[in-house]
């Protein structure tokens, strides 16, 4: 998809560089005069992007004026923002690239040209989240094969300068050494045969592996374990324009790599503009240390940017942080950063822009990388001829809809009010059976019954990902009715085609006497508008009002098309 055309409304602000006449830029200060002079640097970047991408639909002149009038409009209005580029990590890159491939098929079926489907902005994809430590500086030289038959033997190791001293294993039942007691225990088969595919290791017979070779051997195992994923990433880098895949072995999206990928100033069609970025890695915010505006977003929002659509954000307040004086000799830079973070937390800077003056480095908190695989996923992978050792991590299967759909609402700690206890189960009301959520959803879809979720406050809070919206959609959920939403998750619901509905202030499912066993009926008018009030009817005869929680006309357009991917596919066709 082509990138947004520059400056439909503000072309008169385009000027040429004095020393290079064929190079251009938007002279944004001419737009605002004194209003521009008082804008913080981060807001100036937002304003330049708004001016450059103003087309009257995705970016309106009103949005530009709201940013320019930041002093009075901060925290009161939402504005679109077009980042210059996107950074993905492999766990979120897999579903994004799968969606692009699926979109090509959809465009082809609609009679369009699938080769036109490309990311609208430069996209960097780092592939290093699946590395697992099968070898360390002291490990057996032949780790268990991860399965599949694709793993080749490692090259010959360099000779060790110091030979490890062998000790008797004292009758360990899992010994892999050459001692008699170990052989006797293994021959009986009373222990290891009880657990399928369990590696037989003995801490007294571990063989040291030279440090440089541990990295190579771990990468070798990784390539065998993730062969299918890596082949798909390689195909994506050649099939789609604007996609650069950084292969395993170069590190994740950390400070050094973020600096390497940054451009600071973009040049596109002889037009210069500031670098900015959104990404799906928690470390993306570290790029702000280079003066590049960037932050983390969800998977569906990232795909929207890759498809030429903006992300929306509340016009933020900006807090300045100026460091003066000098630090004590016993104070490290980490101490300073932690002190600033503590102050920022105390004054609630979570939804604000913070500009650090004279602070050269900052660190970002690290979030958990892996999630436990629900038991139901095992049933999905076994028929696919995968051995248990090939199951890999949950994140590595995020491109497989069969796995991810079964993992939706599969947390064993999930409390379902229908059954009154924590369990990933629900009741299929037509039959009265208590089933897994996935099994019940399958029956509802066969019966042609769409589903609705009743929720409380801040629905979607937490480490919300794209599959938190995609999963319910594939289970047949058409609407969510909640007291309030976490913003990113609500945007994801709209992006996937699920209607976000809200109770009226002061109302909820309990106050209205809703049990969730009712049949709900709701009709959307042809002319939808943001925040419109709709009438909800139930099979018990109860009626009440709900709010259609759409923020703007763009969200309404996406919802009417059945989500972001359908909207863009129709534009291509």
For 185-236, write each residue's pLDDT tens digit: 444 444 434 444 444 444 444 455 556 677 777 777 777 777 888 888 899 9
* Per-residue pLDDT reduced to its tens digit, 133-144: 777 665 444 544
* Per-residue pLDDT reduced to its tens digit, 128-185: 766 667 776 654 445 445 544 444 444 444 444 444 444 444 444 444 444 444 443 4
Contact (CB, 8 A) for 89 and 209: no
Q: How far apart are CA 154 and CA 145, in angstroms?
A: 11
- Mean pLDDT score of the chain: 78
Please compute, for residue 64, the number of CA atoms within 13 A of its CA located in the half-sphere on the CB side: 22
Phi/psi class of residue 130: alpha, beta or left (left: φ > 0; alpha: ψ in -120 to 50)? alpha
Classify each residue of 535-552 as buried b or exposed e, where b means 16 or more C-beta atoms within 10 Å of its C-beta: ebebeeeeeeebbbbbbe
Would you give the distance in Å from CA 90 to the centre of its chain?
Answer: 10
* Per-residue pLDDT reduced to its tens digit, 449-499: 999 999 999 998 876 578 888 999 999 999 999 999 988 889 899 999 999
Of 35-39, 285-289, 447-451, the range with the lowest mean pLDDT is 285-289
Decide if pLDDT at 394 tops 60: no
Contact (CB, 8 A) for 72 and 317: no
Average pLDDT value for residue range 356-376:
38
Q: What is the CATH number of domain 384-572?
A: 3.20.19.10
Contact (CB, 8 A) for 79 and 313: yes
Q: How far apart are CA 167 and CA 448, in angstroms?
A: 67
Per-residue pLDDT at 369 = 33
User: Measured on CA atoms in the order 76, 304, 249, 260, is the torsion positive or negative?
Assistant: negative
Q: Is 61 exposed, middle or buried (0-12, 13-18, 19+ CB in 10 A)?
A: middle
Q: How many residues does the chain have?
A: 573
Per-residue pLDDT at 392 = 60
Average pLDDT value for residue range 326-342:
86
Domain boundaries, the chain: 1-134+211-323+347-361, 384-572
Per-residue pLDDT at 137 = 64
* Per-residue pLDDT reduced to its tens digit, 1-15: 444 444 468 999 999
Decide if pLDDT at 352 tops 70: no
Identify the residue with better confidence: 449 or 286: 449
Q: What is the CATH number of domain 1-134+211-323+347-361?
A: 3.30.499.10
User: Which among 430, 460, 414, 139 has a CA at the least distance from the CA of 298?
Assistant: 460
């Amino acid at each position: 998809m082509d990138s947004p055309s520059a400056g439909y409304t503000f072309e008169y602000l385009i000027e040429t560089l004095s020393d290079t006449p064929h190079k251009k830029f938007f002279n944004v200060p001419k737009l605002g005069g004194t209003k521009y002079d008082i804008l913080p640097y981060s807001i100036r970047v937002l304003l330049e992007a708004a001016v450059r991408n103003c087309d009257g639909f995705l970016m309106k002149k009103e949005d530009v004026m709201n940013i320019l009038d930041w002093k009075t409009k901060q925290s009161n209005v939402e504005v679109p923002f077009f980042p210059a580029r996107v950074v993905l990590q492999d766990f979120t890159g897999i579903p994004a690239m799968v969606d692009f491939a699926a979109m090509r098929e959809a465009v082809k079926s609609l009679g369009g040209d699938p080769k036109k489907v490309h990311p609208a902005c430069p996209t960097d994809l780092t592939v290093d989240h699946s590395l697992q430590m099968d070898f360390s500086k002291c490990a057996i030289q032949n780790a268990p094969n991860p399965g599949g038959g694709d793993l080749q033997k490692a090259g010959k190791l360099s000779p060790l300068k110091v030979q490890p001293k062998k000790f008797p294993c004292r009758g360990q039942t899992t010994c892999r050494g050459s001692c008699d007691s170990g052989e006797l225990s293994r021959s009986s088969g009373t222990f290891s045969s009880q657990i399928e595919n369990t590696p037989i290791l003995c801490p007294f017979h571990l063989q040291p592996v030279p440090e440089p070779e541990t990295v190579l051997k771990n990468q070798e195992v990784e390539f065998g374990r993730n062969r299918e994923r890596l082949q798909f990433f390689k195909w994506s880098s050649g099939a789609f324009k604007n996609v650069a895949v950084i292969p395993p072995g170069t590190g994740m999206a950390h400070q050094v790599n973020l600096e390497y990928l940054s451009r600071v100033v973009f040049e596109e069609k002889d037009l210069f503009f500031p670098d900015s970025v959104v990404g799906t890695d928690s470390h993306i915010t570290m790029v702000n240390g280079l003066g590049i505006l960037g932050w983390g977003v969800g998977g569906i929002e990232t795909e929207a940017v890759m498809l030429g659509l903006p992300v929306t954000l509340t016009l933020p307040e900006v807090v300045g942080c100026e460091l003066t004086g000098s630090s004590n000799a016993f104070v490290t830079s980490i101490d300073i950063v932690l002190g600033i973070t503590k102050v920022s937390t105390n004054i609630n800077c979570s939804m604000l822009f913070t500009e650090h003056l004279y602070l050269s480095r900052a660190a970002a908190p690290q979030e958990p990388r892996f999630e436990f695989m629900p038991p139901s996923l095992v049933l999905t992978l076994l028929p696919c001829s995968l051995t248990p050792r090939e199951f890999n991590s949950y994140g590595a299967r995020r491109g497989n809809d069969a796995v991810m759909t079964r993992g939706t609402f599969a947390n064993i700690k999930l409390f379902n009010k229908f059954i009154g206890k924590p369990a990933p189960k629900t009741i299929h009301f037509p039959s009265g059976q208590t089933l897994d959520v996935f099994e019940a959803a399958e029956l509802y879809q066969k019966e042609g019954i769409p589903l609705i979720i009743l929720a409380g406050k801040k629905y979607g809070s937490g480490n919300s990902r794209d599959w938190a919206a995609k999963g319910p959609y594939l289970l047949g959920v058409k609407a969510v009715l909640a007291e309030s939403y976490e913003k990113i998750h609500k945007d994801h619901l709209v992006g996937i085609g699920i209607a976000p509905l809200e109770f009226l202030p002061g109302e909820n499912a309990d106050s209205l006497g809703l049990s969730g066993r009712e049949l709900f009926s709701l009709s959307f008018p042809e002319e939808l508008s943001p925040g419109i009030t709709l009438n909800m009817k139930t099979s018990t005869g109860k009626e009440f009002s709900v709010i259609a929680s759409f923020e703007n006309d763009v969200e309404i357009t996406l919802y009417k098309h059945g989500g972001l991917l359908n909207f863009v596919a129709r534009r291509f066709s």
